[in-house]
Each structure stands twice: as C-alpha cells, then as structure tokens.
Amino acid sequence: MALVFRELVCLSMVSPKECMGYTNVVIGLSVTWAHYTH
C-alpha cells in the first residue's frame, strides 16, 4: 500500500517518465494480485 502511495506521489510531483518503470512494476503486481485473489 505504501509503495502505491509513493508511486502516486512520484507521478504527481516528478516527471512521469522517471516513474514509468516503477509504475509498470506496480501495475503488474496489482494485476497479478487481483488475478489470484478473485
């Protein structure tokens, strides 16, 4: 949860390009988590 919040802060305050890689990781983990929990 903290990582997602940190990513949102990063996207809102820093250039999106600098966070894109981390964003993709977070999205991937979120999709995987949703897949295995639903």
Phi, psi of 4 (to 5 degrees): -65, -45
Model confidence pLDDT, tens digit, residues 1-38: 567 777 677 666 666 566 566 777 778 788 888 878 76
CA-closest candidate to residue 23, choices 7, 34, 3, 1:
7
Nearest to 22 by CA among 33, 10, 13, 32: 10
Domain hosting 7: range is 2-37
How high is the pLDDT of residue 17?
61
User: Residues 21, 26, 31, CA angle at the centre, nearest 5°?
Assistant: 125
Query: Tokens standing for 30?
Result: 């979120």
The pLDDT of residue 33: 84
DSSP 8-class letter at 38 = -
pLDDT at 16: 58
Q: What local confidence, expressed as pLDDT, does residue 14 receive?
A: 60
The total number of structural domains in the chain stands at 1
